[in-house]
Amino acid sequence: MSVSVNALTQEKYRIPENLDDSASIERFLHQHEGKKVIVVQGLGFVGAVMALVCANAKSEEYAVIGIDLASEDAYWKIKSINDGLFPLIADDPKIDEFFNKALEKGNFLATYDPVAFKYADVVIVDINLDVQKESSEDAILKDFDVNLDGFKSAIKSIGSNCREDVLILVETTVPPGTCEKVVKPIIEDELTHRGFDVDKYRLGHSYERVMPGPEYIDSIREFPRVYSGCSQASADSVENFLETIIDTSVCELTRLEHTNATEMAKVLENSYRAMNISFAVEWSRFAEEAGVDLYAMVNAIRVRKTHSNLMYPGIGVGGYCLTKDPLLASWSRKTFFGSDSDLRMSINSVSINDQMPIFAFSRLIQEFGNLKDKKVTFLGVSYRGDVGDTRFTPVETLVNKVIEAGASIKLHDPFVSFWEEQKCHIESNIQNVLDSKPDLVIISTGHSEYKSSEVILKLLEMEQTYIYDTIGLLSNEQILLLQEKHKISVLGRGDL
Amino acid sequence: MSVSVNALTQEKYRIPENLDDSASIERFLHQHEGKKVIVVQGLGFVGAVMALVCANAKSEEYAVIGIDLASEDAYWKIKSINDGLFPLIADDPKIDEFFNKALEKGNFLATYDPVAFKYADVVIVDINLDVQKESSEDAILKDFDVNLDGFKSAIKSIGSNCREDVLILVETTVPPGTCEKVVKPIIEDELTHRGFDVDKYRLGHSYERVMPGPEYIDSIREFPRVYSGCSQASADSVENFLETIIDTSVCELTRLEHTNATEMAKVLENSYRAMNISFAVEWSRFAEEAGVDLYAMVNAIRVRKTHSNLMYPGIGVGGYCLTKDPLLASWSRKTFFGSDSDLRMSINSVSINDQMPIFAFSRLIQEFGNLKDKKVTFLGVSYRGDVGDTRFTPVETLVNKVIEAGASIKLHDPFVSFWEEQKCHIESNIQNVLDSKPDLVIISTGHSEYKSSEVILKLLEMEQTYIYDTIGLLSNEQILLLQEKHKISVLGRGDL
């Protein structure tokens, strides 16, 4: 018996063996006759929220079906949505608001049955496409590959079920060239095979710029969008559809000439960000060596418009995009376009960023000394301040290194109660992780709570300890205050 | 007999053998008794203009002496200044205005005699510090080194002449650590040797952000400044001095804790810029391969604040700073601070940027074909639009490649009459370079003139030719118009 565990409630669901869900789909659609049907494929961090946005579209009332696999990882999300619990914790109040509205209207169903595609006016592809990385022990990227099998079979399940005149909108971040070289041939093969006219369907690409956090919903609805179609007619269809869900009064829709262009723009955007972060990695180590404060330098330089987005030092990059998108791009350049060259700057950025927690660990050992049998408290496991997202968090590497070095650890995070990837519970009461008299407190995520005067006071009340700020969270005033009692190191700053 | 040629007038001057200029210095200072004396060391693109700014300081009347070497490269500048001709062409009208005011007041003298340092209240160091690069034929950076000998002897000439209580302000872009590890010991050695108290002199570092062009003067006077001193007293002295020449009502002065920090901030700033450019290099080649338009992508992405300074594709980087500053930084990290690691991202940026004109050439051959016996016209030799600065211009590499390929060339630039580095005259009348029926017109610098309707009309009047836009200067409308007659390629865009 296969089981899928609800990450929010820890409830266990039996995964159905019979994948026929057509009865509930038909019942749902019967209730919404006359409405256009949107099927969102993939109920992850993007798809689930995109489905909410569609169910509460600006200028059209849609019947929305979210579809994902009846797998261990995904089935619980389907069940959770249909049971009335949205499968993501987010501090954006609009998530609850939108989900509750959809529940009231009853226009949002989740399913695992691909028969749903049969009814779709629009299919939005929001599934994941991962990169397989091969790295050294020190997280140096040795090699990587992209396996399109899962993506292809997802596209095939659309093609073998969809209507002849469907609009397929790919939002997944893909290697540039994928719509033209992978999606289009698969869909047209399937349609031809089913005896359909291949001139009637529409295919386009548009990338979301979703930012999990307090403006989750608005990062879809009120954020500029870039889109394209694989023909003029397709691009027009995408535009017409997006205009019903994106608030074009506050943000622009920009059409690019080709799906290659929007696909490339997306990975370029994230590669640029990843590179800017890796730049800070190298310079923060240099600043430590030269005994100066990189944060102060960045502040002094950021006054220039040309340098306003220079990044601060930090423990590394997390999340789903920046850790892989540059590799998708480079893979495409060589595989889809036959180039002799890869995107070396972008690959190096990923490798440098992957190594950052290792550098953070080296500095720690250098400053603190041997960790054997020490008690270590981590403040924060999420990869981003004030967000409960642990996907590819760099804290994980640092935690593993500290454990390997023989320390015992406690983990705190106000936004994460269960750490999926490490399968462990996270303490939410900070007093509980400080009471244990840790030898070392590592500030590992930039949650606002940690710089509150309340937490600074708690730190001052502790026995003498060592504080390691890996993200420059503490202000100079707070450092001065804490130094009266504790030893402090800050990543990206020379000795204090 | 050594001769120095005035780059503006081609006039030849005999370099004096007797370097005693004390009589004219004393005469000059006698006329300005009671005024504080500033000596600016180095009369290049920064020093000459800095001297002008000091001679027209905001809130204090200084007597300013510019000093440079009695060498082939520099002597003519000294002579030119004293003869009433400023040694730089710039399209900033304030340059003429400031120079004329200084001539009227008679408070700006140029000399080659280091005895000038004897009278200085403030010495500003604006000499060059070069990097020696070793590159492959294809401009791949193989190795590089920094030779401090010239810099050290310049500092020594200050120390062996200066007053005990001088303020020395280093503005030269140096490897981080230079003030502390090189300048300070040399000055203190010299002062001690001369029987002086080494606690009285002041030493600081502040970097200019000079931008040759229409706001040359304001890029010094009205641009935020970062500064430091090698002691509290030194930092205070630097601050007091800068406040007399920088307009702090429109821009901030930011003090950093240590000379290492300001020195590092400067090279970091330029390394970041160089890296952003190299990013565009890689992606423009990818865009060409995938047949899409990188300019359109960049425009679509720049709407995001985090990506507002994403660079457009181009023929490469020129100028004095971005081509070497990242290397100064990396050299310092290994040499001054004994790090095992270099700054790999920054070094790679320089190497990639150096290769850009080679990539531009490959694309040209691929699109245009064999250049043997073809007539080629270059529009622009400067490295920057609307500026007459040819230092390390990437156009030089492309020009050389085109000549090597057997073509005959004509060069046009409205801002450059004589190309120093190539020792050749440049045509300023565009009709003269188009009349010769070139087989190929290469737009190589982003001068506004080239996108004027006047020039587009001239291009349309030509026989059928091939136009290669290496900097995305032409608008889509202009391309459509020109395509009616000519073939066109644009760097960073797929086939048009």
pLDDT at A18 over 80: yes
Chain A residues with CB-CB distance to B307 below 8 A: 269, 272-273, 309
Chain A residues with CB-CB distance to B292 below 8 A: 256-258, 260-261, 264
Could you tell me the CA-to-CA distances from B340 to A351, A366, A470, B344 in Å, in that order? 18, 15, 22, 12
Chain A residues with CB-CB distance to B345 below 8 A: 275, 278-279, 282, 345, 348-349, 352
- CA–CA distance, A15 with B417 (Å, rounded to integer): 78
Cβ B269–A304 below 8 Å, yes or no? yes
Other C-beta atoms closer than 10 Å to the C-beta of A484 total: 7
Instruction: With cut-offs at 50, 70 and 90, classify the pLDDT of residue B225.
Output: very high
Distance (Å) from the alpha carbon of B286 to chain A's nearest alpha carbon: 6
Q: Are A349 and A271 in contact (CB under 8 A)?
A: yes
Chain A residues with CB-CB distance to B291 below 8 A: 258, 260
Nearest CA in chain A to B311: A306
Please write the tens of the pLDDT for every residue from A338-361.
Answer: 999 999 999 999 999 999 999 999
**Token pair listed for B292:** 């899409």
Instruction: Read off φ and ψ for residue A431, nearest 5 degrees.
Output: -60, -40
User: Which secondary structure element, helix H or strand E, spans residue B488, and what is its range?
Assistant: strand B487-490
Distance (Å) from the alpha carbon of A176 to chain B's nearest alpha carbon: 8
∠ at Cα A397 (A396, A401), nearest 5°? 115
Please write the tens of the pLDDT for every residue from B285-343.
Answer: 999 999 999 999 999 999 888 898 899 999 988 888 899 999 999 999 999 999 999 99
Is the whole-model pTM more than 0.80? yes
Chain B residues with CB-CB distance to A291 below 8 A: 258, 260
> Residue A300: which of B265, B304, B329 has the nearest Cβ?
B265
Q: How much is the pLDDT for B212?
A: 80
> Residue B268: which of A254, A289, A297 has the nearest Cβ?
A297
> Residue A264: which of B252, B275, B290 has the nearest Cβ?
B290
Instruction: With cut-offs at 50, 70 and 90, classify the pLDDT of residue B175.
Output: very high
Cβ B287–A269 below 8 Å, yes or no? no
> Residue A226: which of B209, B300, B337 has the nearest Cβ?
B300
What does DSSP assign to residue A312? P
**Token pair listed for A487:** 């030893």
3-class SS string, A384-430: CCCCCCCCCCHHHHHHHHHHHCCCEEEEECCCCCEECCCCEECECCH
Task: Specify burial of residue A342 (Cβ count, 10 A radius: 0-12, 13-18, 19+).
Answer: middle
Nearest CA in chain A to B255: A300
H helical segments located in A376-452: 394-404, 430-434
* Average pLDDT of the residues in B481-490: 96
> Residue A300: which of B256, B286, B289 has the nearest Cβ?
B256
Chain A residues with CB-CB distance to B332 below 8 A: 290
Instruction: Of B290, B354, B355, give the one whose Cα is nearest residue A339.
Output: B290
Fill in the amino acid letter for A279. Answer: F
Cβ B292–A329 below 8 Å, yes or no? no
Please write the tens of the pLDDT for every residue from B426-435.
Answer: 999 999 999 8
Q: How much is the pLDDT for A1?
A: 66
Question: Residue for token digits 């604040």?
Answer: B305
* Average pLDDT of the residues in B45-67: 95
∠ at Cα A59 (A53, A62), nearest 5°? 60
* Average pLDDT of the residues in B95-115: 97
Please write the tens of the pLDDT for every residue from A220-274.
Answer: 999 899 999 999 999 999 999 999 999 999 999 999 999 999 999 999 999 999 9
Q: How much is the pLDDT for B10?
A: 87
Fill in the amino acid letter for A157. Answer: S
* Average pLDDT of the residues in B73-96: 92
Q: Are B335 and B154 in contact (CB under 8 A)?
A: no
Please write the tens of the pLDDT for every residue from B199-215.
Answer: 999 999 998 888 888 88
Q: Which residues of B432-442 are buried (b: 16+ CB within 10 A; e: fewer)?
A: ebbeeebbbbb
Cβ B268–A296 below 8 Å, yes or no? no
Partners of A36 in the beta sheet? A62
Instruction: With cut-offs at 50, 70 and 90, classify the pLDDT of residue B259.
Output: very high
- CA–CA distance, A325 with A26 (Å, rounded to integer): 38
Please write the tens of the pLDDT for every residue from B360-406.
Answer: 999 999 999 999 999 999 999 999 998 888 988 999 999 999 999 99
Cβ-based contacts under 8 A for chains A and B: 185
> Residue A301: which of B252, B268, B352 has the nearest Cβ?
B268
Cβ A329–B286 below 8 Å, yes or no? yes
Partners of A169 in the beta sheet? A124, A204
Fill in the amino acid letter for A18. Answer: N
Q: Are B57 and B101 in contact (CB under 8 A)?
A: no
Question: Angle of helix B394-404 relative to helix B344-368, nearest 10 degrees?
Answer: 40
Nearest CA in chain B to A270: B307
pLDDT at A481 over 70: yes
Cβ B268–A341 below 8 Å, yes or no? no
Instruction: With cut-offs at 50, 70 and 90, classify the pLDDT of residue A91.
Output: confident
Chain A residues with CB-CB distance to B269 below 8 A: 301, 304, 307
* Average pLDDT of the residues in B254-278: 96
> Residue B268: which of A264, A283, A343 has the nearest Cβ?
A283
Chain B residues with CB-CB distance to A345 below 8 A: 275, 278-279, 282, 345, 348-349, 352
